[in-house]
Amino acid sequence: MHRLVRPCNGGVHSPHSILDVAPRRSSQRKGSKPKRHPRGRASQDAGSRSAVGLTRSRQPVRGERDSGVAHATSPQWDPCLQNVRPVRRRACAPQVKENPLPLRSWSKRALIPSSALRAALVCGLLVAGAFPAAVSAAATTYHVDCSAGNDSASGTATSTAWRSLSRANNASLYPGDRLLLKRGCTWTGPLKARWQGTSSSPVTISAYGSGELPKIQNGHENVMITGAHLVIENIWTRSDVPSRDSGCENQPAGWRVGFRLMSGSNNTTIRYSRADEQYIGVLLESGSYSNRILNNTLRNNNMKDPDPNSDAGAVGISLMGNDNEVAFNDISGSDACSRQWGRDGAAVEVYGGSRNRIHHNKASQNHNFTELGKTPSADNTYAYNRVTSSLTTANFLVTRGASNSYGPVYRTKLYNNTVHLSGSQSYAIQCYGGCGTGILTMKGNIVVAQDRVGYADNAFEESNNVYWRPGGSPKVYFPISSSSKKMDPKFVNIGSGDLHLQSSSPAINAGSTAAVLLGYTADLDNTSVPQGGAPDMGAYEYRTPAAPVITTAQDAFSRSVSNGWGSISTGGTYRLAGDSVDFDVNGSSGTIALAAGATRAASLPSTLIRDASASVRLRTDRLASGSGAFGYIAVRQSTDGRTEYRLKVRLSPSRTVHLQAIRVVNGIESSIGSEVATGLTHSAGAYIRVRFNVTGSNATSLKGRAWPDGQVEPTTWNVQVADSTLGLQVAGSVGLRAYQSGSAQSSMLVTFDDLSVGNP
């Protein structure tokens, strides 16, 4: 998509616009330039729908075929009996063909053939009504190794791994099962994620081993998702350059998508993954819904449409579906040469999607942060995003009203974003074609643009914002409220990119409560909002500097180690208790493999601290069974490792999470107070954050709390007890520990991440 540029000779403008700027040198930036469909060809008439292909679809070119759902036309075809495994039921979903079509025929709807729909309904009735309730069997983990695997093997161990994605694509996976791709391996896409998990037992696609993330590349869709309730993590998608546009700066061109969520895919999480150098990094098609795109890295997705009459492509994340969440991602480099407009591309594009939540992302060096188009797009929210760019032409937001042929896009909300565009022709906000209060709301933002803050052809809902232009008065071509300000927001260091607020910033306690009322109660640093009498403006809440924290141990587990946990620069070398083969560090977390009845521990004997605040993220790859699964933080550990305080985290088979303080003296464990239910619910593959504070002596105060990962840390404690046991009133080392009950049904992988130990 592309934007209308600032008004010039004859341009439409509001009474508050000050049109005192000479026309741009570049013809692409004139207001008279014809608009274009976000996914189509340039139009010669902004009001002409046929000119841009909204009601007609491009015919497939050589080598392409239409997408669709496999038809149940043969009387021998029975979806309910394919790949059936005894005892456990499987959900039957229409099988969707791989679709290698270029992704610019956006107007074509994906229709489910009635035969496939009938088959799916019949299958559901048969499974649900014809048999007694199935007894859940233990989940299975499958492995894929590109070099040492064998597609004839069982796949259930690293020594019997499969080799190809084709074999993986044909696997029957059930709720709770895992498909693991070996790190350091590369395959040609696609991986077809067609499986059906459940909310409590998703099907997980992840990585194992050490080295780089497993890589899937050069497919039209490197990962094609038609299933539901999936967790896809630690996967890297990318593409070589299929062709280049010699008439447009030799720009990479081609149709390559990293992760494509097809119509009907839902409740799938893509996290801790990468999507690089493609046409679109993550595409959520129309009809995909309630998916989560979290904590991913998207780099240089800047391929353009190879059709010289189209400038589509160069998008990090494209939202055509509804009710999806895009959060905590790092998106950069979506910027491409455009024959029609000079430059194009977007970190996040919304085309037909509604009620999507885009928050707490960091975006840099993209042409647009976001552009919205196509009715029925509505009610999309952007909150606590940080947007920076030094590109000559860069934008924060482009949206449209009803008089634009690709609008209206209703009720877009911008809350508490921080924007700094330093390019000489930067243009942060553009709302045209009938902007208004029903089109755009801006509250609590900080927008700094070297050229123009923005333009709207009608007033929209606006309050509690700060606008600025370094070296001069900001160019704001729309009405602003009395609660908004045109002044320097006083970043800590704008030159070095530190966009936190100085203590004298006019943005402090001057923001809006709109984001908080929607549930956004933490800033981009996970600082609770508000810190003062009212929220601050922008993505960073000002916090009075605390006393310096002396960090004793810090481990992000970003290294790769097999058969151990290795060493860290702040904390020293890990000492292991148990077979070292059960310990690995995979580049993003530390793992411990636990058989039923097994205990494993890792400690840092060189860390000596008495008053300690220790926190860590903890998760398991499956739900607990038997008497439960346990994770521990240990402090004040003696040199022989037999005396220590522990905070015990118990994950029960009923999915509840419990905490309890423990003392261990000469290897004998005893409780300090009762076990406490935290109110949290444990899910396989989902992190829980835990903090253990131990302070003082004679008596020592022990406090513990747990909270969901990604949420603001609470100020209250689940556990508060005191203890004066001799031998535990002095400094000691710290460590982590895991145990699975002897009555557990299967082995378990326990994962720790982001260990931090310092003074309280």
Q: Which residues pair with 144 in a beta bridge?
A: 162, 181
pLDDT tens across 532-564, in order? 999 999 999 999 887 776 889 999 999 999 999
- CA dist 110 → 97, 324, 357, 422, 704 (Å): 12, 19, 24, 42, 51
What number of CA atoms fall less than 13 Å from residue 602's CA on the CB side? 30
Residue 83: how many other CB atoms lie within 10 Å: 11
pLDDT tens, residue by residue, 72-126? 333 333 333 333 333 332 333 333 333 333 333 332 223 233 333 333 333 333 3
Residue range 188-201: mean pLDDT, rounded: 96
CATH of 551-758 given 2.60.120.200, 3.30.479.10, 3.40.250.10, 2.60.40.10: 2.60.120.200
Q: Are 35 and 374 in contact (CB under 8 A)?
A: no
Strands 315-319 and 583-586: unpaired
- The number of residues in the chain equals 760
Q: How many angstroms separate the CA atoms of 656 and 680, rounded?
A: 6
Q: How far apart are CA 675 and CA 688, in angstroms?
A: 17
In tens, the pLDDT along 206-233 reads: 999 888 999 999 999 999 999 999 999 9
pLDDT in tens, 706-733: 999 988 899 999 999 999 998 899 999 9
Sign of CA dihedral 727, 730, 732, 738: positive
Environment class of 99 (CB within 10 Å of its CB; exposed 0-12, middle 13-18, buried 19+): buried
CB 359 within 8 A of CB 329: no
Please state, in angstroms and rounded to a whole number, the distance separating the CA atoms of residues 623 and 467: 49
- Is 164:196 a contact under the CB 8 Å cutoff? no
Structure confidence by residue, pLDDT tens digits, 268-310? 999 999 999 999 999 999 999 999 999 999 999 999 888 887 7
pLDDT of residue 137: 57
Over residues 493-514, the pLDDT tens digits come to 999 999 999 999 999 999 999 9
| Whether pLDDT at 159 is above 50 | yes
Across the chain, what does the average pLDDT equal?
Answer: 84
Cis peptide before 507 (omega within 30 of 0): no
Amino acid type, 95: Q
pTM exceeds 0.85 for this model: no
**Cα dihedral 158, 162, 165, 170 in deg (nearest 10):** -120
Residue 122, H or E segment: helix 114-129
Q: Which two tokens stand for residue 349?
A: 């594009």
DSSP-assigned beta bridge partners for residue 661: 647, 672
Give strand pairing partners of 194.
none
Q: What is the pLDDT of residue 338?
A: 85
pLDDT given at position 48: 30
515 phi, psi to nearest 5 deg? -70, -40
123 DSSP 8-state letter: H
Q: From 264, 199, 257, select the one nearest 224 (Cα to Cα).
A: 257
- In angstroms, what is the C-alpha Rg of the chain? 28
